[in-house]
Structure 1
Amino acid sequence: MILYSYWRSTTSYRVRAALNLKRVAYSQRTVDLVTGDQRAPDYAALNPGKGVPTLQLDDGTILTQSLAIIDFLDATYPDPPMLSGDPAARARQLAVALTVATDIHPVNNLRVVGQLKSRFNATADDAQDWMCHWMAEGFAAIEDLLPDTTHEPASGATQTFAFGDTPDLADLCITAQVYNAHRWGVDLTPYPKIARIEAACLAIPEIQAAAPENQPDAPR
C-alpha cells in the first residue's frame, strides 16, 4: 500500500495511526500542502478533492477521505476494531469522530484559512483566532459527549480512552486534532477528558509513530 500524506496533516495522522495499530504495511509519499503538490495534475487525478490522505491499495484501487479509508481498513483488517459492533456504541463513537472531522477540521483547513486571508484580508492573528475559536467550540461539545470515567464500562474494563480500554476512531480523531490545538495555542484546561485521551494515545507506540514530528517528511 502507498499512503499519500503530509506530515502535518491531521487527517493523514488519523490514517497513519489506524494503519499502525492494525499492523498494515505501507509506504508513504509526500504531498506537500504548503507548496501546492495537491493541485498538481497527476495528484489531482488520484484525488479529485486535492487533499490528503490518499491510500493506493496493492491492486491499484484508490481510496480518499480519512474516515472512509479507516472504514475500509476496519472492514478489511478488523483487529483491533476502530468502531464498536454495538449500534448505539458505534453511533456515540461516530458522533465524537464526526465532531472533529465535520465541525472542526473543515473550517480550519489550510485552503479555508487561505481564503480568509486572500478574500477577506484576515491577518495571521485573525486566522489563528478563527481556528482557535472553532477548536474550542468543537472541544466543548466533545467533552460533553464523552462519558464520565468515574463509571466503568459494562465490560468492567478501566476506561482509559474515549469509550473503553483501547483506542478507537474517536480517540484517533481527538488526538490528531489536539496536535493542532497545541500548535495554535488552545488551552486544554477546560477539556480534561480530551487531555487524558491524548496522553493515553501518545503512550501507545503505534500512535506515537504516526505523530507528525515522526514522519519522514517532517523537518529535522
Structure 2
Amino acid sequence: MTEAVLYDYWRSSAAYRVRIALHLKGIAYRTVPLDLVEGDQRGSDYLARNPQGLVPALEIDGHFLTQSLAIIDHLDARHKAPPMVPADPAERSAVLAKALVIAADIHPINNLRVLNYLRGTLGLDDEAVGTWYRHWIAEGFTALEQGAPDCGLFGGAEPDLVDVCLVPQMTNARRFDMPLDMFPRLVRIDAALRLLPAYVAAAPEAAKPSAAKP
C-alpha cells in the first residue's frame, strides 16, 4: 500500500479529527500543509482535485477523499480496530447523532470562512464574532453534556467517533474563551483523551509547521 497523504491545516478542527483517526488506527501518512489564512486551499491544483477548496483531504488506497467524517468512514471500513462506530444499527445511529452535533451543527457555522464572512462582509467586530462562536458551542455542548457518560469515554474503553470529534471542538472552545464549567463530563472526557498517544501525536502543536504563524 502506498503511503497516505493528508492535505492538512494544523489549526483546522476537521483535519485534526482525521489526524486523530489515522493515529488511532496506526496508519502512516505524510502531510501536505495548506495555510488557510494565506489561501493555499484556493490554488488551482488543489481546486482541481477538491472543488470545495477545504481541508482535510486524504489520498489513500488510490482514492482522493474529502470531508472529515467521510474520510474517517473510509478508514473505519478498511481498518477495523479500533472501531469508530458500533456494528449494531441503533447504536451506530446514536454515535453518529452525537458526532454530528459537533461536525454538522457546531463546526460548519463557526469555521474560518464563516468567521471571515462575519468580520468582512457583515462588518462584525471581534467581540461580536466571539459571541456568535460561543453561542453555537454552548448550544451543542449542552446537548452533548446530557448524553455524555458518567465515567469512561463516549466510546467506553476506547475512543469512538464522538471522542474523535470532541477534542478538536474543545480546543476551539478554549481558543475563543468559552467557559466550560457547565460541561464537567465533556471536560473530564477531553482531559482523558488528550493523554492518549494518538491524541498527543495529532494535536495542533505537533502538526504545526515550523514556519506557521501562531
Q: TM-score, normalised by structure 1?
A: 0.91
Aligned equivalents of 2:180, 2:33: Cα separation in 1: 30
Q: Which residues in structure 2 correspond to 1:1-220 (within 5 Å)?
A: 1-59=4-62, 61-147=63-149, 149=150, 159-217=151-209, 219=212
Identity value in percent = 47
Task: Report the aligned-residue RMSD.
Answer: 1.3
Q: How far apart are 1:136 and its partner, in Å?
A: 0.8
> 1:13 touches 1:210 (CA, 8 Å); kept in 2?
yes
Aligned equivalents of 1:195, 1:96: Cα separation in 2: 16
Aligned equivalents of 2:10, 2:85: Cα separation in 1: 25
Q: How far apart are 1:15 and its partner, in Å?
A: 0.3
Aligned equivalents of 2:55, 2:141: Cα separation in 1: 23
Q: Secondary structure at the match of 1:96?
A: helix
Q: Secondary structure at the match of 1:4?
A: strand
Unaligned runs of 5+ residues in structure 1 are 150-158
Aligned equivalents of 1:22, 1:46: Cα separation in 2: 25
In the alignment, which residue of structure 2 is the partner of 1:155? none
Q: How far apart are 1:11 and its partner, in Å?
A: 0.3
Which sits farther off after the overlay, 86-95 or 20-29? 86-95
Aligned equivalents of 2:146, 2:138: Cα separation in 1: 12
Q: Deviations over 1:130-179 (max 9, x none)?
A: 111111111011112224x2xxxxxxxxx410131110100010111000
Runs (4+) of structure 1 moved beyond 3 Å? none
Closer, same or farther in 2 for the Cα pair 1:58/1:74, shift >3 Å? closer
Residue 103 of structure 1 aligns to which amino acid in structure 2?
D
The total of aligned residue pairs comes to 209
Unaligned runs of 5+ residues in structure 2 are none
Q: How far apart are 1:216 and its partner, in Å?
A: 4.2
